[in-house]
């Protein structure tokens, strides 16, 4: 089982390798898929490029869900979303993938940088032991210490 610090490290590593999340405001509307933009200098913060006409642009309490591409790590993040059109941050996070969505480039009139400030999170890692995998394969009872790791955290900072 991983400890909480390891879980946080694994979260950021897995999100960097597959930066796709379901994100939504807590206003009753459905979440939508967005691509996370990560800045290692920003603790507990994830950025997303969106259109100013996107339903997320109004900001407010939000939740984001993440499933690692190997389906071995899951996270649910709660926080506050808001537009933060700091040009230095837009410039820092800009890449070819973003440019494909905003043909007007960094000056596109519909471009908005959504900032999600994480207030708390829950994480699960399915690092099942060999014994646990064998029991699952043959229908045995799996103990909780054989299934993986779980943590509720107030910060995603790695230390």
- The predicted-structure confidence for 71-108, as pLDDT tens digits, reads as follows 888 999 999 999 999 999 999 999 999 999 999 999 99
pLDDT band at 49 (very low <50, low <70, confident <90, very high): very high
Measured CA to CA, the distance from residue 35 to residue 69 in angstroms comes to 14
Whether the CA torsion 50, 122, 134, 130 is positive or negative: it is positive
Distances (CA, A) of 19 to 35, 46, 109, 144: 6, 10, 25, 29
Residue 131 has pLDDT above 60, yes or no: no
Residue 112 falls in which region: left (phi positive, over 0), alpha (psi -120 to 50) or beta? beta
Return the pLDDT at 139. Answer: 61
Q: Cβ distance 103 to 79 under 8 Å?
A: no
Weakest mean pLDDT among 1-10, 55-64, 134-143: 134-143
Whether the predicted model's global pTM rises above the 0.85 cut: no
């Amino acid at each position: 089982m991983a400890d909480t610090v390891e879980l946080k490290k694994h979260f950021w590593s897995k999100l960097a390798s597959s930066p796709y999340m379901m994100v939504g405001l807590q206003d009753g509307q459905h979440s939508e898929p967005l691509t996370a933009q990560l800045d290692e200098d920003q603790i507990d913060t994830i950025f997303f490029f969106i259109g100013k006409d996107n339903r997320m642009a109004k900001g407010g309490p939000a939740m984001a869900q993440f499933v690692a591409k190997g389906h071995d790590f899951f996270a649910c993040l709660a926080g506050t979303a808001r537009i933060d059109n700091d040009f230095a941050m837009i410039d820092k996070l800009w890449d070819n993938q973003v440019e494909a969505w905003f043909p007007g480039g960094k000056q596109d009139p519909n471009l908005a940088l959504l900032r999600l400030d994480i207030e708390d999170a829950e994480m699960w890692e399915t690092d099942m032991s060999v014994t646990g995998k064998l029991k699952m394969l043959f229908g045995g009872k799996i103990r909780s210490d054989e299934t993986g790791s779980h943590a509720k955290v107030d910060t995603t900072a790695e230390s």
